[in-house]
Each structure stands twice: as C-alpha cells, then as structure tokens.
Structure 1
Amino acid sequence: MADGTLITLISLGVTGLFMLGVPVLLVIAYWVIGCSFVLGLTLDNMGAELMNVFNKGFALLAMPLFILTGDLINKSGIARRLSDYAYACLGWLRGGLAMASLGACGLFAAISGSNSATTATIGSMLHPEMVKGGYDERFSAATAAAGGTVGIIIPPSIIFIVYGFLMNLPISDLFVAGIIPGALMVFGMQFACWVICRANGWGYIIPLQLNRVLKTAFGAWLGFFAIGLVLWGIYTGKFSPTEAAGVTVGFCVIAGLVSWALSHLFRIKEGRTWEEKSYAEMLLVEGFTIPQIPGIVVRSAQITGILAPLIAISVVMQQILSLLGAQQVIGDFVISMGGYYAVLATAMLIVFVSGMVLESLPVTIILAPILAPIAGSVGVDPIHFSVIFLVGASIGFITPPYGLNLYVASGVTGVPYFRLLRYSTMYLVSLLAVWFLVALVPDLALMLLPNR
C-alpha cells in the first residue's frame, strides 16, 4: 500500500478518535507514531525531539508558574475582590453584574494567563450570583465562557509564551502588544452584554456609590499590585517573562499566607459584606495556610502535565507535516491569494476554521510556523501578526463544535453545552468585529511598543 494511502487512513482513524472524545494529546501522538512508521522514522528520533523541546525551552518555564499564579489568586480570595470591584463600577448599568463578570475576566487574565482558568474561576464564582440576580442561566454560563477568551490575550499569556518560543520573538514585546487588543475584546463583549440584557430586562440595577467603588478598589489592592508588578517588570525590562512569573508566584504565596495569619490574629470574621468591613479589614483577603499549598501546586501541575506534553508532541507533528510537504501546500495556497489584505484575510480564515475543531495550542504550533513567514513576506509586522493570529485562535474557544470554554463553562455551571450556543453567538459577533479592527489597524497592537 502506498505511503500516501497509509497516512490518509491514519489521519481518518485519529479523526474518528477525536470525534469520539479521545484527548487531543493522544490523538496527535497516535498520528505522529503512525506517520513515523510510514516514513521510516524511528521512535528514538521522536524521543530525542521531545527532549529537545524542553531542553531548549527556557521561556516555557513561565507557563507552569503563571498557571500556579491563577490558582493562588483564586484560592486566596484575590479573584473575588477583583470581581467585587468590577461590580461596584458597573452595577448601575442594565446587565451590570454580567458586564462586571467580563471585566473580572479581564482582571483575572492579567494575572493568570489562562483561558480555561479564567472561565472556570469567574464562572464558578459569579454564575450563581447572576442566576440569583435574574439572569438566564444559559446567558450567565455563556458570559463566563466568552469572558475566558481574553485569558490568552491580556498579558501575561501562556499562548504568547509558546508563540514567542516557536517564532523566536521577544515574549515581552508580545505581552505588551496584547494589552490594547485584549482590552478591546473586553469592551466589545461588554457592549454585546449590555445590548442583550437591555433587550431582555435582565439584572438588578444598583446605585453607583463612590464609597462602594473606593472600598472595593481598596480591597482589591493585592490584585492590582500583582497586575502592576507583572506589567511593570516586563515593560521596563526588569524581568524576563519567566522571572516575572516567578516573582508573581512568590508575591501571591506571601500575600495569601500573611492575610490568613493576620485575619486569624485579629479575629476577622469571614463571609461579611464590604459594608460590614472596615478599610483596615478590606486590606486582607481570605488567604490560605501552608498545608494547603501542596494541594494548590498539585492542581496546577495537573494542568501543566496536560499542556507540556501537548506542546512537545505538536512540535514533532509540525516536523512530520514539513516532511510531508503540508507547509509548502498551505504556503503556496495562501501566497496565491495575492497581496497584503488577501493574504491576511486567507490566513485569518484558516486560523478561524482551525480554531473551530482544535484547541489554540495545536493551532498555534502547527499553523504559526507556516502562516507567519508568509504574512511577513507581504509586509505584515511579525508582532502585529502574532496578535492577529492569537486573537483569532482565542475566538475558537467559543466556536462550536470544539469551543473549549463552552465545555469548561458547562462543567462548572451545570448548564448543558448545546444550551450555551444561543447566547454565545452575540459574543462571537463582537469578538469578530474586534478581530477585524485589530487586523486593519496595526497601531492597536504596536503603539505601546518601544522603538516601533
């Protein structure tokens, strides 16, 4: 049997496994192993390539640290304080709590760098509150899913780290380039949220109280400090992204332990509202104890244990695709489209369609090395293209049939997956509008970068 026929059968087989729900890691691994045998590549070669990914990937050390940061701020209560502040600012608008949950997603993303962690954390905290506040449970869950899309765009971002590692681009520049597009994604979704809630009359309106805004902002100071620490260190060059991740983890550990100790020392009661607490009490969050830290680390390690092997095996997959000539075929197709805008539009279409069936990590690892050089050949700035590529990949988190964030939101809220689709459509439209705006206006990604 010809090699091409065997590879086609292998591809069809693993596609069937994917449709049956087999994890993406195993699907890619089966395809890589099968194709390696067909092409005459030894498993020793695959093992060596897997090791090379991590031996040369110092920047990838930031990934588990930012995942751990997200778990620490959730466990310590910092995430809850950020959401309380967002609600104090937006609760006077129709749909204010839902808009606040999107704002909280943006603030949480500015510390954690993970889309699924953002959706899971904000969804589990605010979905019950939204349902109590008169929102449709399907809309509430879809809002958490949509808000999580900014988790990989607003810095620090795990996927920006992977992209920078693959394309040999400065990760600090990628982080800075994601600030304005990420903020626009949040504002775009908040506008869509306001339109939906106003049309349906959802949500209770609370008065805008300066005291509430100031007090919740004061209570969220640890979150703001962590965000500022990351952005300041990376933007000024004081930290590399990996060092920034380590510093942020250290800060979150100290903040969580000290807050717990002081809260118990001064016998501050938990569960009270912001009105019942003094400004001094608002300085402290719930925190955690030293015996709880191993459990937090294990949970973060479980997520890292899923992502890290996927990165490694996807790099090997990329090499096999290169041997098969797939990169040349896709490259020739995109180049044949013509000039700057035609190439850019074609690349965006490929990313969008791929995001419908694959998670952002394999999409990035497989397609970025193919599409980025082609975009560069027609004059697209490499940093600008990275933002275009990853914003498009993030939209895939709420695009069926894959829609990872929809699955995560369904899991933490109990709302069936297919019931979320109706209310995710409006958010999808708003994100597509922001995506096209970012693609057409390069300065939105580049204006904050020095020497640009």
Structure 2
Amino acid sequence: MSDGTLITLISLGVTMLFMFGVPVFLVIGYWVIGMSFVLELPLDNIGAALADVFTDGFALLAMPLFILTGDLINRSGIARRLSDFAYSCLGWIRGGLGMASLGACGLFAAISGSNSATTATIGSMLHPEMVKGGYDARFSAATAAAGGTVGIIIPPSIIFIVYGFMMNLPISDLFMAGIIPGILMVLAMMLVCFLICWRHGWGYLIALSLSRVVKTGIGAWLGFFAIGLVLWGIYTGKFSPTEAAGVTVGFCVVVGFLCLPLHRLINRGRDERPDVSERSYGEMLVVRGFGPIELPSITMRSAQITGILAPLIAVSVVMQQILSVLGAQESITAFVTGMGGYYPTLFTAMAIVFVAGMVLESLPVTIILAPILAPIAASIGVDPIQFAVVFLVGASIGFITPPYGLNLYVASGVTGVPYFRLLRYTVPYLAALITVWLLVALVPELSTALLP
C-alpha cells in the first residue's frame, strides 16, 4: 500500500473519530503518531517537541494563570458586580438587560481572557434574570453565547498568548491591538440586541438612576481595578503578560480572602440582598469573597481546563512539523497567493479561517493555520499585528458558527436551552460580528492605533 493511500486512510480515520466526539487532543495525537510511522519519523521527536513546549514556553505560563483568574473573579463575586453595573447603565433602554449581559461579557473578558468562561459565567448569572425580565429564553441563551466571543479578543486573551508564542510577536502589542476591535464587537452586538428587543418588545425597563449607577460602579471597583492593573502594567512595560497574569491571580486571591470576613461582618451573616437599591454603600464596597478552604477546588477546576489546552498546544507543534514535511504549507500558500492582489489574497485567507472555525475550536485553528497564513499576509504587506487580530476575530466568530460553535454548546449547557433552538437568534449576532471583522481587515488603524 502506497504512502499516499496510508496518509488518506489515517486522515479519514481520525476525521471519523472527531465526528464521533473523540477529544481533539487525541484526534491530533493519533494522526501525528500515524504519520510518524508512515513517514518513518522517529517517535522520540514527539517527546522532544512536547518537552520543548512545556520547558521553554515561558509566555504560555500566562494561560493557566488567566484561566485561574476567571474562576477567582467568578467565585469572589466580582463578576456579579460588573454585571450589576452594566445593567444599571443600560437597563432603561429597550433590551437593556440583554445589552448589559453583552457589556458584562466585555468586562469579564477584560480580566479572564477566555470565551467559554465568559459565556458560562455571564450566561449562568443573567440568563435566568433575562427570562424573568420578559426575554425569550432562546434569545437570552444566544446572547450569552455571542457575548462570549469577545473573551479571546479583549485583552488579556489566552489565544493571543498562544498566537504570540507561536509567531514570535510581542504579546503586549497583541493585547493592545485587540482593545478597539473587541469594543466594536460588543457595540455591534448591543445594536443587534436593541433592534431585536425593540421589534419584539422584550424586556422590562428600569428608570435611569444616577445613584444606582454610582452605587453599582462603587460595587464593581475591584473589577475595574483588576482590569486597569493588567492593562497599565502591560502597556507601560512594568511587567510582561505572564507576570501580569501572576499579579492578577495574587490580587484576586488577596481580595477573596480579605472580603469574605468583611462581607459576613457587614451583612451580619445574611445573604447579600438581591436588590441593589436596598444595599448600603458599605455593602457595595465588599464582594462575597471566598475562604482558603475553597481555593483548592477553584484551582483544580482551572487546572482541568489547562490540562485540556496545554497538551493540545504541544501535540499540535508536532503536527505543524509533519504538515511541513508533507508540503501542506506550500500547497496552501500557492492556493492563497494564486488569488492575486492584496484584497483577494487577504479575503481568501479570512475565508479559510472562517471555514476552519466552523469545525474546529480556535486553538487548533490558530496552531494549524497561523504559521501558514501569517507569512502569506506579511508577503502582501499586511502588518503582522493587524493580521493577528484579523485572524483571531475570524476564529472567535467560529464560537457561534455551526456545526461546532463551542459557545453554543456552553450556553446550552448552562441555560438548558437545546443547541439547535439557539441558532435562530445567533444569525443576527453572526452578521454583526462579520461586519466588524471586515472593518478590522479593511482599516488597519483599528488594530494598530493603540500600539506604542
């Protein structure tokens, strides 16, 4: 049997495994091992590549730390305070609670850097509130799923860390480049939310109250401080993204430990009053917090997520090497550059990212395609930082694009709304995000304006 036939059979076999729900890490791993036998590559190359990633990848240390940050701010109650502030600012507009959930996604993303954590946290908190507030349950779940897409664009971003590590780009510059596109994504989705809710008359309105805005703003001060700490430290060069992740984790742990006894003292041991207007300013200053006994369980949950992502990055590095041996990079390069011209080449690369995002999570899309498409973009004059943002905004859209749509599965899981019932209300958000994506591709300044 020829090598070409074996390669085809192995690729078809692992594709079937993927369709049957086998984890992506195992699918890529089986393919890598099979290809190593076919191409007669030494298997110890796999072990060496895995060791290099885990021992030399200092930048990747930020990934588990930002995952842990997301879990800490959720457990401490900081995430709830951010969503309360967003609702106070937008609740007087038709669809205000839906818009507030999108705003809360943006604020949560500015600390956690994860799309799935953003969708799960905001969806579990605000979906019940939206349903009680007169919103359609399907629309509410779709809103949480769409809002989570900014989790990997607004800095800090786990996937930006991976991209910067792989393409040897300054992660701090990538973080800065994601701010404006991330804000545009949130604003575009808010507009869609307003139009849909205005058409259907969904949502109960609350009066715009300056005192409520001020009170919830004070209540969210710890979240704002964490966001400012990360951006200030990275932008001024006081610490690297990896160091910023460590500082943020330390801050969240200290806040959680200190706030728990203070919260119990101020609230006299009772649960926090659900109505913000009934809380005193003293109650708003302190979040719920958590105790040392809870820290191991929080850390374990974050470690489980890291344990899924880190091996995938490592084994995908070997996959890149094998694809290079097979000539895949040259074939794709020839196809994309064969389009001719700046915009045809750029849009073809974007189309490849979009299609890949429909069937794969952003991490394997980045690991597999970024080393191939980024040099092509650079060869036609696209700024590497701008293309990174274009690439990753396109990958983020895949989170709500069937048949994969990771955020749709996450939103379905936390809200109880069946996956296929989310799709109808996902389409308008998808159109808004694609519009922003095209703007980011056509206007380089949206990605580079904040760079030092």
Taking structure 2 as the reference length, what is the TM-score of the superposition?
0.99
Instruction: Please give the per-residue CA displacement for 1:341-396, whole angstroms capped at 9, x wherever unaligned.
Output: 11110100000000000000000011000000110011000000000000000000
Task: Please point out which of 431, 434, 446 is paired with 1:432.
Answer: 434
Q: Is the 8 A contact 1:14 1:31 kept in 2?
A: yes
The within-5 A match list for 1:65-104 is 65-104=65-104
1:189–1:427 Cα contact (<8 Å) kept: yes
Q: 1:390 is aligned with what amino acid?
A: L
Q: Which amino acid aligns with 1:245?
A: A
**Partner residue, 2:12:** 12
Letter of the aligned partner of 1:45 in structure 2?
N
- Deviations along 1:308-327, whole A, 9 cap, x unmatched? 00100111111111100000
Is 1:394 matched up with 2:396?
yes
Q: Output aligned runs, 1:291-330, within 5 Å.
A: 291-330=293-332
Q: How far apart in 2 are the matches of 1:199 and 1:283?
A: 38
Of the candidates 356, 359, 371, which is equivalent to residue 357 of structure 1? 359
Q: Distance in 1 between matches of 2:64 and 2:402?
A: 28
CA distance in structure 2 between the aligned counterparts of 1:27 and 1:364, rounded to whole angstroms: 16
| Aligned residues between the structures | 450
State the distance in 2 between where 1:280 and 1:67 align: 30
- The CA distance in 1 between the partners of 2:66 and 2:287, in whole Å, is 20
Aligned partner (choices 379, 403, 406) of residue 381 of structure 2: 379
Instruction: For residues 112-162 of structure 1, give each alpha carbon's deviation from its aligned partner in whole angstroms, at most 9, with x where no partner exists.
Output: 000000000000000111111111111111000000000000000000000
AA aligned to 1:12 is: L
Which TM-score applies when normalising by structure 1? 0.99
Structure-1 separation of matches of 2:288 and 2:179: 29
- 1:275 alignment partner, SS class: helix
Q: 2:38, 2:183 → 1: CA distance? A: 47
- State whether structure 2 residue 259 is matched by structure 1 residue 270: no
Root-mean-square deviation over aligned CA pairs: 0.7
1:207-227 deviation line (CA, Å, top 9, x unaligned)? 110011000000000000000
CA distance in 2, matches of 1:184, 1:270: 37
Q: Which amino acid aligns with 2:271?
A: E
Q: For residue 374 of structure 1, what is the amino acid of its counterpart? A: I
Mapped pair 1:165 → 2:165: yes
Asked if residue 147 in structure 1 is aligned to residue 133 in structure 2, the reply is no
Q: What are the residue-to-residue correspondences of 1:192-211 with 2, within 5 Å?
A: 192-211=192-211
Aligned to 2:420: 418
Secondary structure, counterpart of 2:277 in structure 1: coil
Q: One-letter code of the match for 1:408?
A: V
Q: Secondary structure at the match of 2:276?
A: coil
Q: Which residue of 1 aligns with 2:26?
A: 26
Q: Cα distance, 1:96 vs. partner?
A: 0.4
User: How many Å apart are 1:271 and its aligned residue?
Assistant: 2.6
Match of 1:232 in 2: 232
Contact 1:270–1:286 (CA<8 Å) still a contact in 2?
no
More off after superposition, 49-58 vs 79-88 = 49-58
Give the partner amino acid of 1:373.
P
Report if aligned partners of 1:81, 1:216 keep a CA contact under 8 Å in 2. Answer: yes
Q: Which amino acid aligns with 2:117?
A: A
Residue of structure 1 in register with 2:35 after alignment: 35
Shift of 1:268: 5.6
* AA aligned opposite 2:385: I
In structure 2, what residue type is equivalent to 1:375?
A
For the residues of structure 1 that align with 2:298 and 2:29, how far apart are their CA atoms? 29
- Counterpart residue number, 1:62: 62
CA distance in 1, matches of 2:258, 2:46: 46
Measured against aligned partners, the alpha-carbon deviations of 1:177-208 in whole angstroms (never above 9, x if no partner) come to 00000000000000011111111111011111
SS at match of 1:73: helix
Give the 3-state SS of the residue equivalent to 2:118 in structure 1. helix
Structure 2 CA distance for aligned equivalents of residues 159 and 4 of structure 1: 34
Partner of 1:116: 116
Conserved? CA contact 1:268–1:281, under 8 Å: no
1:271 partner letter: E
Runs of 4+ in 1 over 4 A off after TM superposition: none
Alpha-carbon distance in 2 for matches of 1:151, 1:437:
19
Q: Which residue of 2 aligns with 1:367?
A: 369
Shift of 1:265: 3.3
Q: Distance in 2 between matches of 1:136 and 1:336?
A: 47
Distance 1:423 1:281 in 2: 37
Q: CA deviation at 1:262?
A: 1.2
| Deviation of the 1:42 alpha carbon | 2.4
Matches within 5 A, 1:241-252: 241-252=241-252
Query: CA–CA distance in 1 between the matches of 2:93 and 2:250?
Result: 37
Determine helix, strand or coil for the equivalent of 1:155. Answer: coil
SS in 2 for 1:42: coil
Cα separation, 2, equivalents of 1:263 and 1:100: 25
Whether the aligned pair in 2 keeps the contact of 1:86 and 1:101 (CA below 8 Å) is: yes
Corresponding residue SS for 1:449? coil
**Post-superposition shift, 1:269?**
3.2
Alignment of 1:42-61 (within 5 A): 42-61=42-61
Q: Share of identical aligned residues, percent?
A: 78
Q: Is the 8 A contact 1:359 1:396 kept in 2?
A: yes
What residue number does 1:448 align with?
Answer: 450
Aligned partners of 2:125, 2:282: CA distance in 1, in Å?
24
For residues 194 and 131 of structure 2, the distance between their equivalents in structure 1, rounded to whole angstroms, comes to 16
CA distance in 1, matches of 2:45, 2:439: 44
